[in-house]
Amino acid sequence: MNKSQLIDKIAAGADISKAAAGRSLDAFIEAVTEALKEGDSVALVGFGTFAVRERAARTGRNPQTGDPIQIPSGKIPSFKPGKALKDSVN
């Protein structure tokens, strides 16, 4: 499912226009992004939790030459699904 298909589903489920559903989805994405930038997590009970995790520095290999390279540490966004979401998928 892509973004436009998701907007169609939201519009049909909430009985709102596609334009309003698109603005709602964009606002949701922006709110989650801003919270993650600030280091907060976003927990949606039953759905899951969006959070930022630290990734440690590590040594990798250049696939062309095989030489070792140093990969720096960084922050990555993550999602941990909630119990209700897991149960509905299985």
The helix (H) or strand (E) run that includes residue 10 is helix 3-14
* Cα within 13 Å of Cα(71), Cβ side: 12
Report CA 71 to chain centroid distance, whole Å: 23
Segment 40-75, tens digit of pLDDT: 999 999 999 999 999 999 999 999 999 999 999 999
Q: How confident is the model at residue 89 (pLDDT cuts 50, 70, 90)?
A: very high
What Cα–Cα distance (Å) separates residue 79 from each residue in 48, 53, 64, 71, 83? 7, 10, 32, 23, 13
Domain range holding 3?
A: 1-39
Q: Are residues 58 and 89 in the same domain?
A: yes
CATH of the domain at 87: 4.10.520.10
Give the count of beta carbons closer than 10 Å to the beta carbon of residue 43: 13
- Say if pTM beats, i.e. exceeds, 0.75: yes
